[in-house]
Structure 1
Amino acid sequence: MEFPVASAHRGHVPWLELLLAVFLLTLCIPPTTARFAIVSTRAVEGQDVILRLCKTPPDVTGFIWYRGVEMKYQNLIGSLAWHFSVYLTGPEYSGREKINLDGSLTIRNVTMKDLGRYMVVAVLPNSEREIGFGRLKVYPV
């Protein structure tokens, strides 16, 4: 059996043109850059941990932190608005979390209950927002 591309007498091979077009498009599209995110972090129970941010957008006016990946009030840890000097806490706030001025989240004395996914919303001017996700892995002592 012959490979279809190798045979000149087989006629037109339409998928070959499609393959060539896709290849050329991949050369023209610039590589994606890293997006706003939480740096995934590992900790041992009892440690203090900082969930740091990468690629924080410019002109941020505040941050809103959630435990989990849904922007629901019951998942809210807290929010910090710089211009108004307002620091609010939500249902997921345990008293061990602190939102820092750089937007990172410090969690003191992590427990196994802290492991999981986190979401942060960077509040920008004109009511725009950027959302970042990350994970905290906690290991037992």
Structure 2
Amino acid sequence: MEFPAASAHRRLVPWLGLLLAVFPSSLTNRIPPTTEQFAIVSTIAAEGQDVILRIRNSPPGALVIWWYRGGVVKYSNLIGYIALGQGDYETGPRNTGRETTLFDGSLMIRHVTPSDEGIYLAVALLPNGQRTRALGSLNVYGPEGVQYT
């Protein structure tokens, strides 16, 4: 069966090729780009080093970032939090005095020890009241590259 708009000699169909060339490109222009996920950059450090657990793809307009030791949000795991834009910083029960939350929301740990190794959780409070979570890990190596577990 022949396409209804086509003539018997196929001379009058230039718009069909144009439509096929333009339509797919107009579709791809309307698909929004994928957004990268809020995350903590997992880090490997030698014992005694100062380390920064950096945040990747911080949510736009985040108001507060809380840092927890372990993968569970509970007060006993709280290292500290910072109110972004204001710079207000408070410590929690898991803060050893070596942890500081930086103005960009990252966590700095001075003179890491084997006990600092593990999972870290950052929670960001967004302007609409929602919260988003990010997980990352810190691995600590001792002398001669020995990893503590």
* Corresponding residue number in structure 1 for 2:65: 63
TM-superposed deviation, 1:115: 0.2
Instruction: State which of 115, 127, 130 in structure 2 corresponds to 1:128.
Output: 130
CA deviations over 1:107-128 (Å, ceiling 9, x no partner) = 0000000000000011111321
How many Å apart are 1:85 and its aligned residue?
Answer: 4.4
The aligned counterpart of 1:95 is: 97
- After TM superposition, list the pairs within 5 Å mapping 1:33-112 onto structure 2: 34-82=36-84, 85-112=87-114
The Cα of 1:32 is off from its aligned counterpart by 6.5
Counterparts of 1:79 and 1:51 in 2: how far apart (Å)?
14
CA distance in 1, matches of 2:56, 2:76: 26
Structure 1 residue 82: deviation in Å? 3.1
Equivalenced residue count is: 112
More deviation in 76-85 or 87-96? Answer: 76-85
Describe the superposition over 1:88-111 as per-residue Cα deviations: whole angstroms up to 9, x where unpaired: 111110000010111100000000
**Structure of higher RCO (CA pairs closer than 8 Å, 6+ residues apart):** 1
Note the aligned Cα RMSD (angstroms): 1.8
SS where residue 126 of structure 1 aligns? coil
Query: Identity of aligned pairs, percent?
Result: 54
1:84 deviation in Å? Answer: 5.2
Task: Give me the TM-score of the superposition, normalised by structure 2.
Answer: 0.70
Task: Look up the SS of the partner of 2:128 in the other structure.
Answer: helix
- For 1:68 and 1:34, locate their aligned partners in 2 and report how far apart those are by CA, in whole Å: 23
Give the letter for the 2:118 counterpart.
G
1:3 maps to: none
* Local SS of the residue matching 1:43: strand
Structure 2: how far apart are the matches of 1:99 and 1:85? Answer: 9
Q: 1:118 aligns to what?
A: 120
Q: Call closer, same or farther: CA 1:86–1:33 in 2, change over 3 Å.
A: closer
Unpaired runs of at least 5, structure 1: 1-29
Structure of higher CA gyration radius: 2
Q: Which consecutive unaligned segments of at least 5 residues does structure 2 have?
A: 1-31, 144-149
